[in-house]
Each structure stands twice: as structure tokens, then as C-alpha cells.
Amino acid sequence: MNKNPTVALAKPFLRWAGGKSWLIKSLQLILGETKINQYHEPFLGGGSIFFTLSPQKNSYLSDLNKELIETYQAIKDNPLQIIKILKTFENTEGFYYQKRSQILIDPFERAARFIYLNQTSFNGIYRVNLRGEYNVPFGFREKNFLEEDKLIAASKSLQFTTLLQGDFTCNKENINKGDLIFLDPPYTVSHNNNGFIKYNQKLFSLDDQKRLSNFIDYIKSQNAYYILTNAAHQIILEIFEKGDRRLELSRASLIGGENAKRERVSEYIFTNLPGGAMNECNREVGFKKGT
């Protein structure tokens, strides 16, 4: 997939749980030299795949998280204004809780606050209470929360995008022949048949997974390509097995906190991309081929 040379250095400016930066090399191998029309990413999150691919044509980026999409839009529109606001912020516990509790109207102040909380909170988690209020505690991180170059580079990359807030189907009508849709939903089940993830089930249920499967059928009916990542679990296999290519990638994961041991977890990748690229990926990164 050809990159836009003017935005090739753009990187994610947010920490995001479940991000796919570890998968980038594998996805590049899967894509190979396949010619892609437009790029779509309905579960945007931290955007690591989008920023790496830096598509030359218009991209459609969306997420159910309204504050997240508003932040991307503000970065696209005026990164310098956000940088100016962030320069007035402090990496202290008192300032963090003061800023967290504020009700803000200005979109650039809201975006600056979102970035600040993301960078200074505990583990960069995005979590809200039943009232929709962000409730993640201060993280006591020493790292500088303002990375000006990242924000400016991200803004340049986002100039080629249409940003939408909504369900993963909100951009359905813009999918055309030859487009690529990268799907990275919240994992409803744990890896390696270890059971269900209770928190994510509230965000994305098994019924949502089934709707996503139907959405993939629509993508294929438009003669477009899809790449789906999901947990390696029998239920996921039953929902998404469509006779397309399925690969399983094992990776290290830190389970249970800082002092826990690293264990191996497996991810499924489903796609209807041509087989040549998939075979190359098998050789280079050691995928297990699905049946």
C-alpha cells in the first residue's frame, strides 16, 4: 500500500489500550503490493495502523467515542492552538483532578484536556462512570505529556481524512470497490479460550460481534477488502469463519500487572486479501495458518 510521503513520519499521539502497534509489520506483509482505493477504520482508538499506513487517498476514520473523535478533529483543524493550551498545563496530581472535573465548551480546550488526561492518567485507560464522567486516577508519570512534533505530524496526516463519530456501520455508504476496511473491535472474549472479558462485554457484546460479521458480508458484497483482528477463541471462530483466510499470531502479553510474568496469547486475523501477501506473511513472521 503506497504511503503519502508528506505524512510518513506521523505516529499515534495517544496511549490506547488494545492498540495494534505490535501488529504493524505483520499487516504490512499481509497487504504487500495490493492496490488499495480508500482506507476505512471504524474502531479508530489510538490510530496506530492508520498513522503507519498513511494512505494517499481519502480515509474514513470513526469511533463510538465522541470525545476521541472530537480530539482528532481538533488536531486536524488547529494543532497549534491545542499545543498553546497544553503548554499551560501542569503534570501534578492537583492540576490533574482539577482539569478532570471541569466542564469545558471550547473544542480545542476539550481536545487539549483529553490528550493531557490520556498522557498523565494511570495506564492511559479511557474509562467513564455511569454518568459518562472520566474517572481514571492520576498516573504519576514523569514523561512529558506534550509532544509537539507528534501533534503537528498527526494533523498533517489527518488532512486526508473524514472523521465520523458513531457505530462501526456509520460509514457504510462510503465503502466502494477496492477499499480496505481495518476492523479492530473490543475483544468480547479473552485469548486462548480463557473466557469472557466482562468490561468489554458492556462496550461490545457478542451480539455486536455478530453484527460485525454481517457488516463484513456487506464489505465483501461491495468487492472491498477487510482485515479483522480478534481474540483467538472458539466463539470468535464460529462467528467469523466465512471461508476467507484466517491466520493466528502468537505474541507476548503482560498479564496481571507490572510484576506478573509474560505469557503468550494468540490473535486471529481474518481477511479476504489475496493469498500471495498472506503467504509472504506466513514466511516472515511465523503465523499459524487457520483451517
Give the type of residue at 154. A
- State the Cα torsion 187-193-195-199 to the nearest 10°: -20
The sign of the CA dihedral 19, 21, 25, 29 is: positive
Q: How many residues does the chain have?
A: 291
* CB contact at 8 A, 153 and 7: yes
Of 98-112, 122-136, 189-203, 261-275, the one with minimum mean pLDDT is 189-203
Domain ranges in the chain?
Answer: 5-64+166-289, 71-138+145-154
**In the predicted model, what is the mean pLDDT of residues 16-37?**
85
**In the predicted model, what is the mean pLDDT of residues 113-134?**
90
Residue 22: count other Cβ atoms within 10 Å of its Cβ: 13
pLDDT of residue 192: 52
* DSSP code, position 142: -
Of 10-24, 145-159, 170-184, the one with minimum mean pLDDT is 10-24
Decide the pairing of beta strands 262-271 and 225-231: antiparallel
Residue 89: count other Cβ atoms within 10 Å of its Cβ: 19
The H-or-E segment that residue 60 falls in is strand 59-63
Dist. CA 179–CA 66, nearest whole Å:
25
Measured distance between the N- and C-terminal CA atoms of the chain, rounded to whole angstroms: 27
* CB contact at 8 A, 64 and 186: no
User: Does domain 71-138+145-154 bear CATH number 3.20.20.140?
Assistant: no
> Which CATH class, in words, describes the domain spanning 5-64+166-289?
alpha beta
Q: pTM of the full predicted structure? A: 0.88
Query: What's the pLDDT tens digit per position in 47-63?
Result: 999 999 888 788 999 99
Query: What's the pLDDT tens digit per position in 165-218?
Result: 999 999 999 999 999 999 999 887 655 544 445 444 457 888 999 999 999 999
Contacts of 101 (CB under 8 A, 6+ apart): none
**Distances, alpha carbon 129 to alpha carbons 113, 134, 136, 196, 259, in Å:** 18, 7, 9, 21, 28
Computed over every residue of the chain, the mean pLDDT equals 85
Q: Where are the alpha helices (DSSP H) in the chain?
A: 24-31, 48-53, 66-77, 79-86, 93-101, 107-120, 148-158, 198-203, 206-221, 234-240, 275-285
Q: Which three cell numbers stand for residue 104?
A: 469545558
Give the type of residue at 137. P
Q: Give the side-chain half-sphere CA count within 13 A for 7.
A: 25
pLDDT of residue 283: 45
Instruction: Cell 479483522: give the residue.
Output: 228
Of 19-33, 80-94, 268-282, the one with minimum mean pLDDT is 268-282
Dist. CA 91–CA 176, nearest whole Å:
45
pLDDT of residue 195: 46
DSSP 228-254: EEEE--HHHHHHH-SSSEEEEEEEEEE
Query: What's the pLDDT tens digit per position in 88-105?
Result: 999 999 999 999 999 999
> pLDDT confidence of 278, banded at 50, 70, 90?
low
Which of 28-32, 215-219, 248-252 is predicted most confidently? 215-219
